[in-house]
Amino acid sequence: MKTICLYFEIHQIIHLKRYRFFDIGTDHYYFDDYANDTSISHIANNSYLPALRTLIDMARESEGAFKVALSLSGVGMEQLERYAPEVMDLLQELNNTGCCEFLAEPYSHGLSSLAPNGEQCFREETKRQVEKINRLFGQKPKVFRNSSLIYDDEIGSVVADMGFKGMLTEGAKHVLGWKSPHYLYHCALNPNLKVFTRDYKLSDDISLRFSNPSWESYPLMADTYMDWIQNSPEEDGIFNIFMELCALGIYQPLSSHVLDFLRALPACAKERGIKFATPSEIIKSSKSVSAIEVMYPMSWNDEERDTSCWLGNPMQREAFNKLYSIGERVLLCNDKHIRQDWDYLQASNNFRFMTTKNNSVSMDRGIYESPYDAFTNYMNILADFMQRVNWALPQDMDIEELNAFQTTIRNQDKKIQSLENQIARLKSAQKTKKEPVRK
Amino acid sequence: MFGWEFPPHILGGLGTASFGLTRGLANQGDVDITFCLPKPWGDEDQSFMKIVGMNTVPVVWRDPDYNLLKSRYRWMDPQDYYRFRDHIYSDFSNLYTNDLGCIEFSGRYPDNLHEEINNYSIVAGVVARTEEFDIIHSHDWLTYPAGIHARQVSGKPLVIHVHATDFDRSRGNVNPTVYAIEKDGMDNADHIMCVSELTRQTVINKYHQDPRKVSTMHNAVEPLPKEIQDIVPQKKPYEKVVTFLGRITMQKGPEYFVEAASLVLKRTHDIRFCMAGSGDMMNAMINMVAERGIADRFHFPGFMKGKQVYECLKASDVYIMPSVSEPFGISPLEAMQCEVPTIISKQSGCAEILDKCIKVDYWDIYAMADAIYSICNNSSLYEYLKAEGKKEVDAITWDKVGGRILSRYKKLLGIK
């Protein structure tokens, strides 16, 4: 039986403000609240709200047959809570239908999994995102998806080590080769981690091409789409259709009736005996056909499906290396603001703005005019941020020394408490000793 | 071709551009070029074209001895003198001429410039009657009247090449006489080539030309000769140098550079600024630097020539051109050839063809300061712009421009 695994990503970045180098050391607020507010409201109104309502309707109408997976970055959740709480309400409603599985992902939507010394950061931020999802929706995610579906064997083994059962990634042609994305695979370094590979053709048909009148399949209808799936080879079992949720409404405008298309999918699937399932259900019901070897990181971005749009040029690499050079220190830091800024600065979009590749489909660089502009602005902010971290945790101390101090400080209350207890005990012991003397 | 300047004796970018363009065109093959100059010095490169000195063309009949001519003008064939003499078309004995019947030119931009322009066009009439050619190409407004004259005499199509307009030179306060000459040239031209889209728009909007006859022909750069490539950059490890190189005039926006420099120096001290060149705003700039209290870090080495320019460029870490209005601006390309990261204003024509450099609005001193600081402090940006900028500029050659000009000529002449 053919199964569709539908997954949507919810993430929006925190926009950085124009930050000149004169501001280094004097201004510690890096974000453009107005831009954040307007962009989130725009996306919520034109995409998230209508799309989530449609998903809720689909879940109710199909009486449990429709399943969907969602992942939210921590940064994205913070944004939504602040500027568009109604989206969070709808997510709760969708969660209550029982048709929705929430996945884990790094809190910041950053590239910590790629940093040579970033494993600690990666584990820490994933843990935080999982806790947040658990707190909000009462689900403990079992399946992981990395920022922009970045995956290689090493990342897979770390993810498996964290206790996840499955992971989503891109079905990149250069990795799969003759293999089909329509099967379940497992990580080459740890067979316990199942790997889902995205069918980029079927996914991009919706997220990239749906409203393009010069596309040969335009206009795409739900029954045609389901026919494609049904007419695929007999043995093909799993169809991984992954995209950003804002593909529905932003990349493909609502006027293209993309939501009506989506709404018609469950009925068309039912007629053809195709079912929907969440990643966890698939892991339970299916077996992996083979290991998948991924030597170099791949992602769902650009033609190359690699990490070149974030780390392709030396500027991006310098910014990235500088950022993660202080990762361990930031984790030792208890300052709430530093921790928060750390999350926001990690978001991969910041690096994307610095790309000098010119094949990116009409890229939106936000407030930046050029990659150099984006780089300059980011480096100014990073310089200030690094200075703050160094103020909080002096640079000339090494990590272990700091760690020792931190432990001492963290334990001082306990220590004092235990000492006080001891004093009290001794005092009372003394009393009891003295009392018989008085008598 | 009619031109006013030619290397090695140049006063601005016009000469360099005329040279490169002519050579690019000559390299296409099947093109014979005669280049008319007011006053050649004799050491111009004549390997790919013929130079006619307007100061050697007689307009009044005299009968000098062959050997006298030979000794006076060693670089030209005295026979040409006699050929020109046969085509004197009117009585110009009321003009001031020398013993050979020729008009003297300064070849510069003297106070009686308008008289020189007029004389130039008189002589052009003689040349146009003598030489055989298919097309007339006039460089910049000084030679437009000559071009028009030659067109009227010969009936051949006139192409004018707009290297700059008076709107660029004057920030909008146009000199009416210059404007009249420019407009007259454009009205009479069969085709107008502009060095950038920016200039093209000025020509269309301010000179009211038909967009169909105005095309953009971006400038290029000559590859650096070996001796210049071999200059070893004199760099100090402990400080960075930011350079401005050009005429210190209103058009080049020097005051924005000073402002940006003073902003940068508020935060850092290991950067030096250098404003090379001379011009009518130089004293005002020195004053301004003193007022800002940054004179210890801001230097005025004066006008530079030839090799000095490249030595100065190679010693720099950042090159900046904050021009308010720059029809093209060839100097950032030269800086990029010397592997110097470059900041240019968006109001420069060369911004249209350059990508591997930082572009800012000329008035945005904050962005300019930020860009300077960023290049000096982030080695990855510096290295990237250095390497990629060189690659980009190496691909911009006069041969390509020559090819485009030739195909435009063919279109004009109806050759397929």
CB-closest option in B371, B373, B384 to A315? B384
Confidence check: pLDDT of B282 > 80 = yes
Residue A209: C-alpha distances to residues A50, A224, B295, B407 (Å): 20, 15, 60, 40
Nearest CA in chain A to B346: A369
Set of chain B residues whose Cβ sits within 8 Å of the Cβ of A24: 267
Q: Which chain B residues touch A355 with a CB distance below 8 Å?
A: none
B391 part of contact set with chain A, CB < 8 Å: no
CB pairs under 8 A between A and B: 58
Per-residue pLDDT tens digits for A242-284: 999 999 999 999 999 999 999 999 999 999 999 999 999 999 9
Bigger pLDDT: A363 vs B120? B120
pLDDT confidence of residue B173: 84
Of B369, B378, B388, the CB nearest to A379: B378
| Cβ-defined contact of B385 to A356 (cutoff 8 Å) | no
- List chain B residues with CB under 8 Å of A319: 380
Amino acid letter for position A28: H
Instruction: Name the residue of chain B whose CA is nearest to A20's CA.
Output: B370
Does residue B273 register a pLDDT over 90?
yes
Report the C-alpha gap between B395 and B336 in whole angstroms. 12
Q: Is the per-residue pLDDT at B393 higher than 70?
A: yes
- B13-220+400-412: CATH topology: Rossmann fold (3.40.50)
ipTM value of the model?
0.77
Q: Please give the Cα distance from B337 to B332 (Å, whole number).
A: 9
**pLDDT tens digits, residue range B191-230?**
999 999 999 999 999 999 999 999 999 999 888 888 888 8
Q: A76: part of which helix (H) or strand (E)?
A: helix A74-83
- For chain B, the structural domain boundaries read 13-220+400-412, 226-394
* pLDDT value of residue A437: 57
Which of the 8 DSSP states describes residue A47?
Answer: I
Q: Kindly identify which residue of chain A lies nearest to residue B260, measuring between CA atoms.
A: A22
Dihedral sign (CA A114, A120, A123, A129): negative
User: Which tops the pLDDT comparison, B353 or B12?
Assistant: B353
Given pLDDT bands bounded at 50, 70 and 90, which one contains residue B77? confident
pLDDT given for residue A435 in this prediction = 64
Of the ranges A125-134, B122-131, B262-271, B304-313, which one carries the lowest mean pLDDT score? B304-313
- The per-residue pLDDT for A361 is 55
**Per-residue pLDDT for B63 more than 80?**
yes
Residue type, B301: P
CB atoms B267 and A22 under 8 Å? yes
Q: Which residue has the higher pLDDT, B282 or B42?
A: B282
The per-residue pLDDT for A362 is: 60
Instruction: Report the topology of domain B226-394.
Output: Rossmann fold (3.40.50)
Q: Quick check: B358 contacting A, CB < 8 Å? A: yes
- In A, which residues are within 8 Å of B358 by CB distance? 370, 372-373
Inter-chain CB proximity A24 and B267 less than 8 Å: yes
The verdict on pTM exceeding 0.80 is: yes
Q: What is the mean pLDDT of residues B95-105?
A: 87
| Residue in A with minimal Cα distance to B375 | A376
CA distance A363 to A352: 9
Q: Where are the beta strands (DSSP E) in A153-312?
A: 166-170, 184-187, 194-198, 238-244, 248-249, 252-253, 275-276, 290-292
pLDDT at A406: 75
How many percent of chain A have pLDDT more than 70? 98
In this chain, the answer to whether the domains covering B13-220+400-412 and B226-394 adopt an identical fold is yes
Assess contact for B59 and B88: CB atoms under 8 A: yes
Chain B residue nearest residue A371, CA to CA: B358
With CB atoms and an 8 Å threshold, state whether B378 touches A318: yes
Residues A21, B374: C-beta atoms closer than 8 Å: yes
Closest CA to B324 of B242, B243, B257: B257
In DSSP terms, B359 is beta-bridged to B344
CATH 3.40.30.10 correct for A3-292: no
DSSP-assigned letters across all residues of B17-57:
HHHHHHHHHHTTSS---EEEESS--S-S--TTSEEEEGGGS
Q: Are residues A318 and B380, on separate chains, in Cβ contact within 8 Å? A: yes
- Report the residue of B270, B380, B391 to disrupt the A interface, i.e. the one with the largest count of A CBs within 10 Å: B380
Is pLDDT of B137 > 80? yes
Measure in Å the smallest separation between the Cα of A132 and chain B Cα atoms.
Answer: 37
Q: In a 10 Å sphere around its CB, with 0-12 CB exposed, 13-18 middle and 19+ buried, how is residue B113 labelled?
A: middle
Report pLDDT for A359.
62
Average pLDDT of B384-395? Answer: 93
B42: pLDDT confidence band, cut at 50, 70 and 90? Answer: confident
Question: Residue B2 corresponds to which tokens in the numbers above?
Answer: 């009619």
CA distance to partner chain B, nearest, from residue A184 (Å): 41
Alpha-carbon distances, residue A106 vs A75, A124, A301, B7 (angstroms): 9, 9, 17, 62
Contacting residues for B199 by C-beta, under 8 A, at least 6 apart? B162, B164, B165, B168, B216, B327, B328, B349
Cα distances (Å, whole numbers) of residue B311 to A401, B61, B114, B340, B412: 50, 49, 37, 12, 43
User: Where does the pLDDT of residue B168 fall: very low under 50, low under 70, confident under 90, or very high at 90 and above?
Assistant: confident
pLDDT mean by block of 10 residues, chain A; 439 residues: 92 91 90 93 94 94 90 94 94 93 94 90 94 94 94 94 94 90 93 93 92 91 92 88 93 92 92 92 92 92 88 92 90 88 93 81 77 92 92 76 78 87 89 65
